[in-house]
Amino acid sequence: MTEKAEKYKLHRGLYDLLKGITQPGMMKMMADWLGAVFSAVDEGKPILFNQFTVFSELMVALDIVPLPPELWQSSQLNVDANACCESIDAAEEAGIHPELCSANKAIIGDIMLDKIPPPSMVVLPTFPCDNSKITYQAVAHLTGAPTYFLDCPYWMDEGEAMDYWVNQYKGLISFLEKHSEKKLDYDRLKEVAEESNRCLDYWLEGLELLKLKPLPLNGPFASGYLAGLTALGTPAATEAVKASLDELRSRVDKGETAVPEEKTRVIWFYYPVFWDAGLGDWMAQMGAVTASGLVGYFNVEPIDTSTPESTIRGLARRALDTPMGRQGRGASDLWIDDCLRAVEEWKGDCVILAGHPGCKWLMGCYGLFRDIARERGIPVLLWDVDLFDPRPCSGEESRARIEPFLNTIMAR
Ligand code: SF4
């Protein structure tokens, strides 16, 4: 085996598993993304680390390969639940404080252990958390990659704040042009933004269909988010999200439902427990379906592509509404109001919140939310589980917490 093939073995194995898929959809989209990353690695092309709230349109327009490191982490957990542990431990042993979010420790450890392709550029906004901000500084320090922070105002309710944010986006374009040595073609950007509009229309329609009761398919409807991080603005991403939507539409037309008897609807307003892929199915077997989750909560206007200025403004506006980006860029009210809206619009009977220990800002929101939910009679389960590391709370322990909660809700 060559040295190249030895590197990133787990992800190359995942790619080998998926690359034969020809049907458009989530799996093919994942294979296409991994394939593009490995081509870039093998051919020495630039790779851009886009933090998990940065969508891909500008990269597509400039033909730069996006590699969201959090997706690199979570995708391998489908193959091996313990896949992040070695890198988490390596980061801690090197002196990274253990309280840092495990996703972030895994990214730093991956760089140290050469388990992720090194970036040529790094881009992130100043949201949603301090963990992310300090982690990408460490990434820049370890790799020497030039890094661009999109500085987001705390309050976006004034025109000047939006103008400031749009200027941050213009600065990002200059940064990408400089470090990729490419010039952005605004006709190409218009095409990409229009393709992105088409794709996100399909995503939004899928989210609407999950408001049906009984639920046609267990949610959340996440294909748009995967597209956003890897290929949004390409016809292939649009086709993939449309394929997920077509499946959903067909189930609705045939009257098919997620479970034979829907006993309760869960709002899971956070990321899934990435290493515990069977958890949603296990809940569904009890009759508990997930109608909405943070990765399937998105609401945005189309980008006006009439001028380059309006296109950039539309992209900047959209960047404020990505999952977790939307909720994590200011007061706790942003997350709380969206979660309450999800309960109302997706007709949730209860809310389940994974208490990921590194996510301190969100744990603070949870506490505030619990008081509001109590006043409104919304049952909430919050338990401690690490989304990237199965060691603090096992799958059995999670089920032991969730089962009695769901039984209580379903007995009401
Ligand atoms: S899980 Fe929370 S702390 Fe970790 S990167 Fe995401 S927002 Fe930041």
- Residues 247 and 25: their CA atoms lie apart, in Å, by 10
Q: Which positions ≥6 away from 259 have C-beta within 8 Å?
A: 214, 215, 218, 284, 285, 287, 289
C-alpha closest to that of 115 among 106, 124, 123: 106
CA 8 from chain centre, in angstroms, equals: 21
298 compared with 397, residue with greater pLDDT? 397
Strands 65-66 and 147-150 turn out to be: unpaired
Report the amino acid identity of residue 293: G
pLDDT of residue 397: 98
Question: What is the residue with the minimal CA distance to atom 2 of ligand 1?
Answer: 359
Query: Tens digit of pLDDT for each residue in 64-100?
Result: 999 999 999 999 999 999 999 999 999 999 999 999 9
Report the chain's mean pLDDT, rounded to a whole number.
95
Pocket residues for ligand 1 (CB within 6 Å)?
101, 103-104, 128-129, 131-132, 324, 328, 356, 358-359, 362
Residue 356 reports pLDDT greater than 70: yes
pLDDT of residue 412: 85
Question: What is the residue with the minimal CA distance to atom 4 of ligand 1?
Answer: 101
* CA distances to 68, 151, 311, 379, 406 from 56, in Å: 10, 18, 14, 37, 38
Positive or negative torsion for Cα 84, 85, 90, 91: positive
Q: Which atom of ligand 1 is nearest to the CA of 130?
A: 8
Report the amino acid identity of residue 355: G
Dist. CA 384 → ligand 1 center (Å): 14
Of 105, 329, 362, the one to substitute when testing ligand 1's pocket (max ligand atoms within 8 A of C-beta) is: 362
Dist. CA 233 → ligand 1 center (Å): 26
Q: What angle do CA 406, 411, 412 make, to 5 degrees?
A: 105
Residue 120 reports pLDDT greater than 70: yes
Q: Which atom of ligand 1 is nearest to the CA of 70?
A: 5
Dist. CA 108 → ligand 1 center (Å): 14
Query: Tens digit of pLDDT for each residue in 310-336?
Result: 999 999 999 999 999 989 988 899 999
Report the amino acid identity of residue 385: V
Dist. CA 357 → ligand 1 center (Å): 9
pLDDT of residue 5: 55
pLDDT band of 4, cuts 50, 70, 90? low
Positive or negative torsion for Cα 116, 118, 120, 122: positive
- Residues 392 and 385: their CA atoms lie apart, in Å, by 7
Question: What is the residue with the minimal CA distance to atom 1 of ligand 1?
Answer: 359
pLDDT band of 6, cuts 50, 70, 90? confident
* CA distances to 326, 359, 398 from 387, in Å: 20, 10, 11
pLDDT of residue 296: 80
Dist. CA 326 → ligand 1 center (Å): 13
Residue 156 reports pLDDT greater than 90: no
Residue 155 reports pLDDT greater than 90: no
Q: What's the mean pLDDT in 32-58?
A: 96
Predicted structure pTM score: 0.96
Residue 382 reports pLDDT greater than 90: yes
pLDDT of residue 134: 96
pLDDT band of 306, cuts 50, 70, 90? very high
- The phi, psi pair for 321, rounded to 5°, reads -115, 10
In the chain the domains, ranked by start, together with CATH numbers, are 3-184 (3.40.50.11890)
DSSP secondary-structure letter at 301? Answer: P
Dist. CA 332 → ligand 1 center (Å): 15
3-state secondary structure (DSSP) of residue 200: helix
The first and second tokens of residue 125, run together, are 């906004």
Of 359, 360, 366, the one to substitute when testing ligand 1's pocket (max ligand atoms within 8 A of C-beta) is: 359
